[in-house]
Amino acid sequence: MEDEPKKSAVTVDDIDYEVGQDNIQVFGLDIHNPVFAISGGVVVVFVVLTLLFPVTTEEFFSWLRPWLTDNFDWFLMIAGNLFVLFSLALIVTPLGSIRLGGADATPDYSYLGWFSMLFAAGMGIGLMYFGVSEPLGHYQAAIGGVSVENGVRTDWAPLGGAEGDAAAAQSLAMAATIYHWGLHPWAIYAVVALSLAFFSYNRGLPLTLRSVFYPLLGERVWGWPGHIIDTLAVFATLFGLATSLGFGAEQAMAGIEFLFGIPATDGNKVILIILITAIALVSVVAGLDAGVKRLSEINMALALVLLVFILLAGPTLVIVTGFFQNTASYVTYLLPLANPFGREDVNFLHGWTTFYWAWWISWSPFVGMFIARVSRGRTVREFVTCVLIVPTILSIIWMSTFGGTAIEQVASATNALVAEVSDDLKLFIMANALPLTQIVSFLGIVLVIIFFVTSSDSGSLVIDTITAGGKVDAPTAQRVFWATFEGLVAITLLLSGGLAALQSAAVATGLPFAVLLILMMVSTWQGLRGERYVTTPPAMAPGQ
């Protein structure tokens, strides 16, 4: 008989920690000291200094993002590939049978409610902003050919483009777009969400990032190593969210100007962010079920209405056939696009992929914790499959519908203007060539705003949980504090450098957090193996 596998170093009986045991009460706040003090203080100082020195801040952010993506592109690319492989491994191994919350746990939410919340939180604003602009942008770059300076390609086309070949250019464009919105980003979310859910629901640890590292750090997670992990998670979440809120404000304001003639000035963008943050505060105060869940379901219903309308009013046959063609293109080009070495399309690699990976990683504490909070009762296999595969399919459908329609309009010369306007206006110009333009554009604005709200309020709940040491019922005043400062950070970055500053902040916080995600995979694997050996009856234990 083979030796019985050793139990993981972490079991339920090994851990003795009560959520909130080292929190302090100050001015009605339930603070996990020193995470709240450090992260809150740094954010306040950042906002003040950025507003006082806008020129210096803009110059700094203009330098920061290119430097990070030029020097660490290989690391982000390798990390993204590892997250996908790890997630797929969990689906096919026996570890997939472990249930989050224990063998008798049942899901807290229906599939419809679950999908609505994770999709609205995970990609809402991004899909609205990039659904038209990214496929069309890649198509234009790919079909336009490449230029060479000093032996280096200078184009922004994926894999060098397909000069003059419309069909090949469209195939490349859709493959690159789906690559950025498919398996890789959702694998990042799945790793964080699964780790948090397992160690919280199966091991009884606080729902906070430090808990995931218990197998690696032991009791030290309750000390300064844990404080540093949670503080980094707060920064990553805050700046990742600020980037998305900035995109949302730019697009919503562009739509308002297009539809109502109100100019998209910085002042109006600030007013818009303030108004939307106020709406988010109402949702935050209402809580997860009454606020976030309800808004997410409304959002999904409106998004479905817009999707179906574009499908029926646009080039329906092109969209339907495009779904299958685009899926095949994604599979065909997946490995070349995921290759981190020897790439000639360096501008595309740095300007798109490495930024996206850093952005998704910076979002991962927020989206991962939010998904974990609503995923009790799912098996690991069910969880990873649904979080990884279902959103990828939905992303393909969305991009094929919106991007495919825009590319068809340009290729058939029925709406050339959509290729000439700014990215934040492309959705509305694309809809302008369809029936019921005013209604569709207004629906688009409403969707951007509600996605904005659901991202802000769910992000506030997550940051609040982290800074309260894992408590999910921290005081309302604490949620209000973080929701308010999310809006302030977005406003500050917009005023100090626009989207470039927002993108730089996301990359700067996402890069160091990628290291933690890699360690998180190791820790989660150890924990899941220990859970399997603990819960497997002796007669069925491996090796017997």
pLDDT at 309: 94
Share of the chain above pLDDT 70, in %: 84
> Per-residue b/e over 180-207, b at no fewer than 16 CB within 10 Å?
bbbbbbbbbbbbbbbbbbbbbbbbebbb
Q: Which of 28-32, 142-146, 284-288, 438-442 has the highest mean pLDDT?
A: 438-442
pLDDT at 538: 36
Residue 210 · residue 230 · CB < 8 Å:
yes
Strand 23-26 to 148-149 pairing: unpaired
Reported as type and span, the H/E element at residue 357 is: helix 354-373
- Average pLDDT score over the chain: 81
User: Token digits for 305?
Assistant: 């209405």
Model confidence over 152-187: pLDDT tens digits?
A: 444 678 888 888 888 999 999 999 999 999 999 999
pLDDT band for position 259 (cuts 50, 70, 90): confident
Please give the Cα distance from 266 to 469 (Å, whole number): 37
Q: Which residues pair with 152 in a beta bridge?
A: 149
pLDDT band for position 499 (cuts 50, 70, 90): low
Q: Which of 38-47, 469-478, 517-526 has the highest mean pLDDT?
A: 517-526
Q: 223 in helix, strand or coil?
A: coil
Average pLDDT over residues 459-484: 75
Q: Is the pLDDT of residue 62 over 50?
A: yes
Walk me through the domains of the chain, giving residue ranges and CATH numbers.
36-527 (1.20.1740)
Amino acid letter, 325 = Q
pTM above 0.75, yes or no: yes
Model confidence over 137-161: pLDDT tens digits?
A: 999 989 885 544 444 444 678 888 8
Q: 153 in helix, strand or coil?
A: strand
Q: Which residues contact 541 (CB under 8 A, 6 or more apart)?
A: 4, 5, 533
pLDDT at 291: 56
Q: Which residues contact 496 (CB under 8 A, 6 or more apart)?
A: 50, 51, 54, 57, 58, 61
Please give the Cα distance from 186 to 367 (Å, whole number): 10
pLDDT band for position 32 (cuts 50, 70, 90): low
Angle at 363 between CA 228 and CA 220, to 5 degrees: 20
pLDDT at 327: 97
Model confidence over 200-234: pLDDT tens digits?
A: 999 988 888 899 999 999 888 888 888 899 888 88
Name the phi and psi angles at 264, rounded to 5: -90, 60
Please give the Cα distance from 503 to 497 (Å, whole number): 10
Q: Express the helix, strand and coil content of the chain in percent, nearest 5 each.
A: 80, 5, 20
